[in-house]
Amino acid sequence: MKTKRLLTLSLFLCFSLLTLPTLAYEPSIGVKEGDWIEYNISVSGKGSPPPTHDVRWMRITVLEVDRAAFSINLTAQYANGTEGSAIWKFNFTEGNVGGWIIIPASLGVGDTFFDSSIHNHKPVNVTIQGESQKTVLGAARVVTFGNDSFRHKEWDRATGVFVGSSETYRNVTNKDGWYIEDLTVTIEAAATNMWNPKTILGLNPTLFYGLIVGTAVAVLLPAAILVARRRKATLSPKQKKIFGIILLAAFVVTIGAIAITPMSESQVPLSFREINLLMQTMWTGLVLVSMWFRKKGNYIMHEIVMLVVVSATVVSFSAVLVMTPPSSGSWGDYFSSTANVVAVVVHSVVSVPAIAFGVWLVVLWRPNSATYAAKSRRAAQLTAVFWVLSYVVGVLDFVLLRMTLIG
């Protein structure tokens, strides 16, 4: 009798030891219902992806979460401008990780997650190969990464959501017979509500310091001019030109530094709206400097500065419309409420004339013309008034939109 009990107990202990690891481990879900993240997608190389997979922007929104299982709503915008959406189901225990879009949370180097491998059609355990701290969408995050034969993916460790990837397809024919010669698809996180960027007084640090510098220049320059006048300091025409050229060169160098800085939010934590506000602050400052040159009779520097401002504004405005049309995700917040729509319309009402009058002012310019000052007086006045109005409305628009998003 004792022998049977001991045998039964031994078998039970052996079974418990074998099943304990499985029962003890349950993959951790780092997302919750309502979490969302958006991505920008670029494609390079030879050939073209199938039309059904030629996605250039997407957004995933987490739906109901139940233990190790949950689902997401994936919305995609294709290269031809159309949109589509689908519900994807995830289950970490069963290895449904949706092409590594979301993996278990809090995995470190050497840890693995189970993938039922819809791509390779065989189950695999994927190993986290490394991690580092990066600035992602304005916040410091611990980012992990993993690879297989055709993709490199990076995840936010705390949530398990992927924040960037690169996938290469060479000599691939899909199930529908579409041949891909050599393409690289790069995906990068663009916006999320899962973490907040680091701010100073509610503003991005880069934007905050940029506005501080711009304000300092706007205040110190008139102050320096006033002091010089009181001390009756005068500059020769040659010295005025040199001073103007140095001032313009400083602005051009600043603008050039911003232009060559990577504008990915994972590298430079500025949103589309913040970048726009920073640039408009610089352009408005330059317009005021240009009008100061005009008042002093230095029409050459006046027109050179205006030519730089108008050209850059027209180019950037056109690029925004071409690269991020109003139907894309970058513009979504501008049309999220009636108040925001009204703000955008009012801003457009003063911005379009400002640009138009600026173009008119530049077109009127004729070097060494004796009649230019008289002919361009009205255009200069209208340009200055509408440009300042456009900037003021733009700042109010930014504040209103930010209050709406925060509230």
pLDDT level of residue 12 (50, 70, 90 thresholds): very low
3 state SS for 260-307? HCCCCCCCCCCCHHHHHHHHHHHHHHHHHHHHHHHHCCCHHHHHHHHH
Q: What is the pLDDT of residue 157?
A: 95
Query: Are the C-beta atoms of 213 and 206 separated by less than 8 Å?
Result: no
The answer on pLDDT for 8 being more than 60 is: no
Angle 35-114-72 from CA coordinates, rounded to 5°: 25
Model confidence at 323, in pLDDT bands (50, 70, 90)?
very low
The mean per-residue pLDDT over the stretch 89-111 comes to 92
Through-space distance between the first and last CA atoms of the chain, rounded to whole angstroms: 73
Structure tokens at 2: 């004792």
SS3 at position 149: coil
pLDDT: which is higher, 104 or 51: 104
**What pLDDT digit, counting tens, does each position of 271-306 carry?**
566 667 777 887 888 888 888 888 888 888 888 888
pLDDT tens for each residue of 240-261 = 666 666 665 655 555 554 444 4
Q: Per-residue pLDDT for 268 more than 80?
A: no
Report whether pLDDT(265) > 50: no
pLDDT tens column, 140-196: 899 999 988 788 999 999 999 999 999 888 888 877 788 888 889 999 999 999 988
Helices 338-364 and 377-406, axial angle in degrees (round to 10): 160
Distance, in Å, from the CA atom of 203 to the CA atom of 70, rounded to the nearest integer, reads 34
High-pLDDT (> 70) share of the chain, %: 65
**Cβ count near 76 (within 10 Å):** 20
| pLDDT tens per residue across span 33-75 | 999 999 999 998 888 888 878 899 999 999 989 878 999 999 9
- Return the pLDDT at 22: 40
100: left (phi over 0), alpha (psi -120 to 50) or beta: left
Q: What is the mean pLDDT of residues 2-31?
A: 54
Is pLDDT larger for residue 205 or for residue 391?
A: 391
pLDDT at residue 216, rounded to an integer: 59
Greater confidence (299 vs 203) lies with 299
Dihedral sign from CA coordinates of 200, 206, 211, 217: positive
Rounded CA separation 75/54 (Å): 13
Q: Residue 85: in which H helix or E strand, if any?
A: strand 83-91
Q: What's the distance, CA 255 to chain centroid?
A: 19
Model pTM?
0.51
